[in-house]
């Protein structure tokens, strides 16, 4: 059997984000792509990593343009809280806090597998667990200080 038989895969990453996967036929691996799969919304792979591009004063529309829609949002008094997470074993989470249409604070936190009692499920089920702690600035606004 010829060791060149089979398919070859080419995977492209941009800043640690999978952006393209191609599977080539062994007979023409340099020209005939038999499967070309684009990942679609590239932010799905590490949305928490995009937190570095966020800054206070950003509008909600700019945040959505950068990292997409949150997996969950909550309202409390004058503060709206958006939650983002990755479905990976690292348990990376991001909470964004808005007053009106303006981003006022962000919080990166983790929820370990131990925090989840060993349960592996959709990350949205474990929001506000782990080392989550509402930032002081947000608490002060909520308390009216």
Could you report the per-residue pLDDT of 46-60, keeping only the tens digit for each? 666 778 889 999 999
Tokens of 29: 């691996």
Please tell me the class of the 46-143 domain. Answer: alpha beta
Could you report the per-residue pLDDT of 123-136, keeping only the tens digit for each? 999 999 999 999 99
Share of the chain above pLDDT 70, in %: 66
For the chain, where do the domains classified as CATH 3.30.1450.10 start and end? 46-143
pLDDT at residue 47, rounded to an integer: 66
Nearest CA to 74 out of 8, 136, 138 is that of: 138
Nearest CA to 80 out of 53, 48, 103, 107 is that of: 103
pLDDT at residue 4, rounded to an integer: 46
What is the DSSP code string of 33-47? EEEEEE-SSGGGG-G
pLDDT at residue 49, rounded to an integer: 73
> Are 9 and 23 spatial neighbours (Cβ–Cβ below 8 Å)?
yes
pLDDT band at residue 94, thresholds of 50, 70 and 90? very high
């Amino acid at each position: 059997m010829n060791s060149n038989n089979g398919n070859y895969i080419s995977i492209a990453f941009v800043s640690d984000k999978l952006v393209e996967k191609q599977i080539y036929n062994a007979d023409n691996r340099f020209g005939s792509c038999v499967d070309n799969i684009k990942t679609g919304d590239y932010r799905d792979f590490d949305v928490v990593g995009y937190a570095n591009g966020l800054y206070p004063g950003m509008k909600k529309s700019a945040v959505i343009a950068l990292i997409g829609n949150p997996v969950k949002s909550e309202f409390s008094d004058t503060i709206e809280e958006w939650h983002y997470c990755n479905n990976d074993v690292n348990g990376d989470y991001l909470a964004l806090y808005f007053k009106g249409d303006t981003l006022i604070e962000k919080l990166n936190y983790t929820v370990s597998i131990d925090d989840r009692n060993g349960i592996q499920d959709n990350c949205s089920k474990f929001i506000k667990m782990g080392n989550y702690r509402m930032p002081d600035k947000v608490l002060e606004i909520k308390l009216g200080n």
